[in-house]
Amino acid sequence: MIDREQVRKVAHLARLELTPEEEEKFTTQLGNILDYFEQLSELDVNNVPPTLRAIDVKNVTRPDDLQPYPNREDILQSAPEQEGDFLKCLKFLTKE
């Protein structure tokens, strides 16, 4: 079972600010998920072959192709704030 303090710790590590209502909600939801995993761990899977994926799919990605935007000024003008030729955003990484 997971308690509210563990939810707070995970939220802190994920840099999330949760309200008391969200803490309660996530404590319940994560507890239910962990209970379900407990049920799964009780299953007899000795005769089930190990697999990595349910279907055999590999590297389903598109190549990254650099395609410059035709009008740089449009991008800069659509940003709430800019500084010179850069988009300005709030600081979101800290060393806590």
- Give residue-wise pLDDT tens across range 31-63: 999 999 999 999 999 998 888 777 777 778 888
Percent of the chain with pLDDT over 90: 47
Structure tokens belonging to residue 95? 């060393």
Is 58 a member of any domain? no
pLDDT-based confidence at 96, cuts 50/70/90? Answer: low
Is 96 a member of any domain? no
The CATH number that applies at residue 23 is 1.10.20.60
Is 70 a member of any domain? no
Is 86 a member of any domain? no
pLDDT-based confidence at 27, cuts 50/70/90? Answer: very high
Question: Cα–Cα distance between 7 and 27 in angstroms, integer?
Answer: 6
Is 65 a member of any domain? no
Question: Cα–Cα distance between 34 and 37 in angstroms, integer?
Answer: 5
- The tally of domains found in the chain comes to 1
Percent of the chain with pLDDT over 70: 99
Is 87 a member of any domain? no
Domain that holds residue 6: 1-44
What pLDDT does 84 receive? Answer: 87
Is 10 a member of any domain? yes
